[in-house]
Amino acid sequence: MKPLKIIYWTRAGLGVIIGILCAVYVIFSVTSDLANIYTLLTGLSFAMLFYMSTYYIVKLKFFSRVEKQSKLMTQGIGIYFFAWLVSWTLIITLLMPSVAVNIYIGDTGRLAEGQEFWVAARNNAGQVVQNVTTASGVLTITLLPPDTYTFELGNTNQTQTLMVGWLQSLNVVFNVTQPSG
């Protein structure tokens, strides 16, 4: 294989590896503020630092085998950052917890259908992270960063508090009174 192709595919593989390492960093260091800009900047800085270090490794191995020395720096830069971003995003998305919310009519075991409900998920700071409306009695809240959440069923003063962690699928059940009419 030609040296530039080796450099290209090596950087593509390294992009995936760095994406996985950035996901591990997020899992072990970020608790409730996944959307923080500093999380993105830390991951980007880590990816850039690692890419710069690959230049020196590539230079040692392929310096005399490549016609244009500038290709040692630029070859595979696009695929590296694309692979990094895709793998990081995919892994974090797959590991995010989800919470199924079921709204039943009293103790009948029947789902409340036709009546509109909203459910809010509040984090420890009291901020609404997600606010979802349903008329089917069943909804799923996904992409919640790990934290302790209070789930509120609108217009009923019912709340439930759950600790949500990585790789969890939880269930919240609310019982409401039979709608009049």
pLDDT tens digits for range 28-53: 776 556 667 888 888 899 999 999 99
pTM of the model: 0.70
pLDDT value at position 34?
63
Cβ atoms within 10 A of the Cβ of 145, count? Answer: 22
All residues at 6 or more sequence positions from 10 whose CB lies less than 8 Å from its CB, including other chains: 54, 58, 76
pLDDT of residue 13: 96
Angle value at C-alpha 96, between 40 and 126, nearest 5 degrees: 80
Give the pLDDT score at 179.
55
CA–CA separation, 3 and 21 (whole Å): 27
Looking at per-residue pLDDT, the higher value among 68 and 19 belongs to: 19
Per-residue pLDDT tens over the stretch 69-110: 888 888 999 999 999 999 999 998 888 888 888 888 877 777
Enumerate domains of the chain plus CATH numbers: 3-95 (no CATH), 98-175 (2.60.40.10)
Rounded to an integer, the average pLDDT of 153-171 is 85
Q: Which pLDDT does position 109 carry in this prediction?
A: 73
Place of tokens 């998305």: 93
Percentage of the chain lying above the pLDDT 90 cut: 26
Q: What pLDDT shows up at residue 33?
A: 60
Alpha-carbon span 53 to 33, nearest angstrom: 30
